[in-house]
Amino acid sequence: MYDVLIRGGQVVDGTGTSGVYADVAIADDTFVAIGRLEAEAARTIDATGLVVAPGFIDLHSHADFNFFIDPTADSKITQGVTLELVGNCGMSFCAPLIGEAAEDLATRSAWYGTGWRPSWTEFGGYLDELEKQGATLNVATQVGHGTVRKAVMGSQTRAPSPEEQSRMQALVGESLDAGALGFSTGLSMPPGYYALTPEVIALAKEAASRGKLYSTHARDSGDEGSGLFVAIEEALEIGRRTGVKVEFSHIKCNGSTRGRSPEVIARIEAARKEGIDIAADVYPYIAASGPMSGNVFPRWAMDGGRQKALERMADADLRAMARAHLDERISSIGGPERLMVASYPPNREFEGRDLPNIAVDLKCDPAEALVRLFEKYDVQLILSGMAQADLDRFLASPFVAVASDGSSIKSTGPLSAGNPHPRSYGTFPRFIDQAVRASKLVSLEEAVRKMTTLPAERLGLTRRGRLAAGYAADVAVFDPWTLADRATFSEPHQYSTGIEYVLVNGVPVVDDGKPTGRMPGRVLRDKTT
């Protein structure tokens, strides 16, 4: 007697091999049998005409504290996602909470107006509270370089002293030992871009010594354009010097590097042949999103933190220099109409509108409009600076996983605020719809591999990401003909269609296309869980 029996679907197991029609049996939280099964179960799901796959793994999420605001993760489970890796781009936000790192989290949590406040300082305490909170899906964490640097050095722009370097290494090591499955950097945004390569190497060694992942939003990785290839070489050198497993986050060719994806792919493939364990992830959109401070604002202006930047903008000459830089950035992206405001609490009416539209309201040019927005808030932008041909090449590359670079949010409640990038609602169905059905870049089996076993292998997980006996029963059952994203840039808070059933650790969290509200997710502190 099984707990759940999924009958008659096309089983695509995540390895990339051809799908087969079979039944899938689950006992408790584990897949126990796959084949033509003559047995009974407490619950039988008819999967005739549907695809049965491992639950999708989002290797790049920013939902670090979202679960404390709303643990249901509706935007992700309705895509078939059963596991998220948070703590990306150098910011783990929730831990360790010391000094300016604690102030950062307080500022961000205030955006949602819930009054939520953390009760811990160390990474282990964060994981303990995350377990108590619960979630619909599984959560794995990383410790962020930017968070650790702020905890030890605040917004200092200099290199750390030997004592500060030692303290940062200790915090990274303690966090990894507490259960973080990786260490991440955000080297194209403050405070990450103040760090020289030796500082990062010393910290990446902590991950390497424990066999854990190093994820990098690399220095100039498509955001500034011309430095992309230098950034790739830095990531490779960190892998070469430490032996750490390198994940090149949200790989892209943006601005002046549009069209150069063949060179990027060739360089990474050559490094892999050299023996450097490097891979990448990508989201299936030609628009990026991020805070103004890390994406378009001049770095010299951010020296010393936001308050210093605001003081500089009060100086007419420095303001003129900043505007000149912003004009260049706007031009490299393709014009002001390619920038949209995603989140701006000081004036919600600006959310979802493009920069020329807002500049008209403010009665100024686009560069000055950006400065004025920044003076009140580090505005979250959506920037459409990529080319579809580059994106397609990355999506088709065998070493590139699919990941959202979004968050677990919801169409109602506090997490429905703003006009976010639609990737939080549509990444995984969009990938199958566009890359498998529309453009035929990859087969269905390869698409599933890129969302399951490939990210699981990057994390070193031994019981997740594959549909096989003995593996944790995370499963997505979907209609390959109706699977599609509905979220758009103008109306992002729309759930995907075609995901019929999602089980997390053997428990249905999406049943007949509808979220159940159940929370069987686990915090993964160990690769074997």
Query: How many other C-beta atoms lie within 10 A of the C-beta of residue 504?
Result: 29
**pLDDT score for 242:** 98
- Bridge partner residues of 282 (DSSP): 402
Of all residues in the chain, what percent carry a pLDDT higher than 70?
98
Percent of the chain residues topping a pLDDT of 90: 86
Per-residue confidence band for 411, with pLDDT thresholds at 50, 70 and 90: very high
Q: Is the dihedral of CA 183, 186, 192, 196 positive or negative?
A: positive
Closest CA to 427 of 406, 453, 397: 406
- Residue 523 pairs with which residues in a beta bridge? 139
Q: What is the pLDDT of residue 226?
A: 60
User: Per-residue pLDDT tens for 450-491?
Assistant: 999 999 999 999 999 999 999 999 999 999 999 999 999 999
Among residues 277, 261, 224, the alpha carbon closest in space to that of 391 is found at 261
Residue 224, pLDDT score:
45
Q: Are 206 and 183 in contact (CB under 8 A)?
A: yes
Q: Is the pLDDT assigned to residue 222 strictly greater than 70?
A: no
Strand-strand pairing, 475-478 and 499-504: antiparallel
Neighbours of 144 (CB within 10 A): 34
**Is the model's pLDDT at 221 over the cut of 60?**
no
Inter-CA distances, 324 with 138, 360, 369, Å: 45, 19, 13
Q: Find how far residue 243's CA is from the centre of its chain.
A: 23
Helix, strand, coil content of the chain in percent (nearest 5): 40, 20, 40
Does 256 score more than 50 pLDDT? yes
Dihedral (CA of 171, 173, 178, 183) sign = positive
Q: Counting Cβ atoms within 10 Å, is residue 486 exposed (0-12), middle (13-18) or buried (19+)?
A: middle
Q: What is the pLDDT of residues 318-340, one digit of tens each?
A: 999 999 999 998 998 889 999 99
Average pLDDT, the chain: 94
Which helix (H) or strand (E) segment is 23 a member of?
A: strand 20-27
What confidence tier does 223 reach under pLDDT thresholds 50, 70, 90? Answer: very low
Structure tokens at 213: 């992942």
Look-up: residue for tokens 């643990």?
Answer: 71
**What CA–CA distance (Å, rounded) separates 305 from 281?**
29
Please give the distance of CA 280 from its chain centroid, rounded to a whole number. 12
Cα separation of 402 and 420, whole Å? 19
Measured from the Cβ of residue 173, the count of other Cβ atoms closer than 10 Å reads 19
| Cα 55 to Cα 52: distance, rounded to the nearest angstrom | 9
The one-character DSSP state at 131 is H
Instruction: Name residue 482's beta-bridge partners.
Output: none
- Going through 198-338 in order, the beta strands assigned E by DSSP cover 213-217, 245-248, 278-282, 288-291
Quick one: tokens of 222? Answer: 């498509």
Q: Are 237 and 270 in contact (CB under 8 A)?
A: no
Q: What is the 3-state secondary structure (H, E, C) of 58-84?
A: ECCECCCCHHHHCCCCHHHHCCCEEEE
Q: Count H helices and E strands in the chain, helices first.
A: 19, 22
| Closest of 146, 138, 134 to residue 181, by C-alpha | 138
Give the pLDDT band (50/70/90) at residue 107: confident
Q: What pLDDT sits at residue 474?
A: 98
pLDDT confidence of residue 293: 86
Of the listed ranges 16-30, 158-172, 249-263, 395-409, the least confidently predicted one is 249-263
- The size of the chain, in residues, is 529
Residue 225 — pLDDT band, cuts 50, 70, 90?
A: low
11-50 tens-digit pLDDT: 999 999 999 999 999 999 999 999 999 989 999 999 999 9
Q: What's the confidence (pLDDT) of residue 206?
A: 98
Q: Residue 117 has what pLDDT? A: 85
| Higher pLDDT among residues 265 and 417, named by residue | 265
Contact indicator for 340, 489 with CB cutoff of 8 Å: yes
Indicate if the pLDDT at residue 110 is higher than 80.
no
Tokens of 332: 């490299």
Mean pLDDT of 198-210: 98
Which residue in this structure is represented by tokens 């360089």?
267
Between CA 400 and CA 403 the distance in angstroms is 9
**Does 193 score more than 90 pLDDT?**
no
What pLDDT is stored for residue 94 in this prediction? 94
Q: How confident is the model at residue 144 (pLDDT cuts 50, 70, 90)?
A: very high
**Phi, psi torsion values for 288, nearest 5 degrees:** -100, 175
